[in-house]
Amino acid sequence: MASAIQNVTADLTILSREPSTDSRASRLVRELSIAHRVLHEQAAAIGVPADWIHLADKQGRLDRRTTGEPPTMPRATPVARPMVLAQLRHQVDALYTLPAIGVLRRQRGLIDDHRGERLSEHLRLQWLRVALTATAINATETEVRGWWDIDPSAWQPRLGAVAERLELEGGRAWRAVTQPAVLRDARCRVAVMRIVGITIADSPAHQLPPAPHLLDASAEHAWQTRDQIERPAGELIGTAIEVTGVTDTHGRDHADHSSHDLPPPALSANPVPELDL
């Protein structure tokens, strides 16, 4: 991961230093800029020490690329495990929110085939992001216990929170998870994890969330059977807001944001809600 950061930074530095009117060169600079940002995010998400990320970036800005063996890094203080797990849990919440949005949009007849396909792709990419990250940090069965629950009662708080959010935001919440820029970043996040050799081919079952189609089906079933679960409305909505991290941040229009991700929490184990969900 450090080698990838250093090399992408070096390439971006060299290209940015020589402005060009060539559209292909400009596009490459944009793509490298996205890769540079996403590499930093993903490195932090899997627990790469901040000192190493900074050093790799610094070397790249000096036009120094790595070849062969990864660069030798100085001793660094390991990232606190709770910080890494908190960010992973936040990504799990984002994963579960996507099918909840899809169910509610379908129930209201507000989903077309094109955007439905985008949502499905985003769900698949978010699933891969969570699975690859859980594998990279070698999450234990104890650490992720209860995270993959697809029981109807577990869906109710999330469905309630998403319904509330859709009422408040109208189409903004929907656009925030289906716009091309969001999918572009999601594809890039998965690609950089694979490029540095992270794979789920041998991941134990507990590191893999329920498959995307199971998440979709279980969310749909939970919505259809919601009246069979007896829970006070106030408790439902209150718990829902806590579960999904819905705050005033989500009430803003996301269309003009170029960054859709935040680094893992640095000062506490409670992550800040991301801008993309």
Q: Write out the two tokens for 170.
A: 């109208």
Shared-domain flag, residues 177 and 242: yes
User: What are the DSSP calls for 221-261, one per residue?
Assistant: HHHHTGGGS---HHHHHHHHHHHHT--GGGGS--TT-S---
Question: How buried is 122 (Cβ within 10 angstroms: 0-12 exposed, 13-18 middle, 19+ buried)?
Answer: buried
| Domain boundaries, position 167 | 81-251
In a domain, 140, yes or no: yes
- Residue type, position 33, single letter: S
In a domain, 67, yes or no: no
Give pLDDT, residue 229. 53
Shared-domain flag, residues 135 and 218: yes
Give pLDDT, residue 67. 80
In a domain, 161, yes or no: yes
In angstroms, the Cα distances linking 43 to 38, 184, 216, 263 are 8, 18, 29, 9
Taking the alpha carbons at both ends of the chain, their separation in whole angstroms is 26
Shared-domain flag, residues 201 and 101: yes
162: closest CA among 148, 149, 176? 176
Shared-domain flag, residues 233 and 107: yes
- 122, pLDDT greater than 60: yes
Shared-domain flag, residues 31 and 102: no
Residues 6+ apart with CB under 8 A from 272: 262, 265
In a domain, 26, yes or no: yes
Confidence of residue 78 (pLDDT cuts 50, 70, 90): confident
Shared-domain flag, residues 23 and 156: no
In a domain, 128, yes or no: yes
Q: Write out the two tokens for 238.
A: 């209150």
Shared-domain flag, residues 11 and 128: no
In a domain, 209, yes or no: yes
Shared-domain flag, residues 159 and 113: yes
Confidence of residue 135 (pLDDT cuts 50, 70, 90): very high
In a domain, 277, yes or no: no
* Its pTM surpasses 0.85: no
Please tell me which residue, 171 or 13, carries the higher pLDDT value.
13
In a domain, 18, yes or no: yes
pLDDT in tens, 221-275: 999 988 765 444 444 444 443 444 433 333 333 333 333 343 433 333 333 333 3
Overall number of domains in the chain:
2
Give pLDDT, residue 240. 40
| CB 125, CB 189: distance < 8 Å | yes
Using DSSP, state whether 157 is helix, strand or coil. helix
Give pLDDT, residue 275. 31
Shared-domain flag, residues 123 and 161: yes
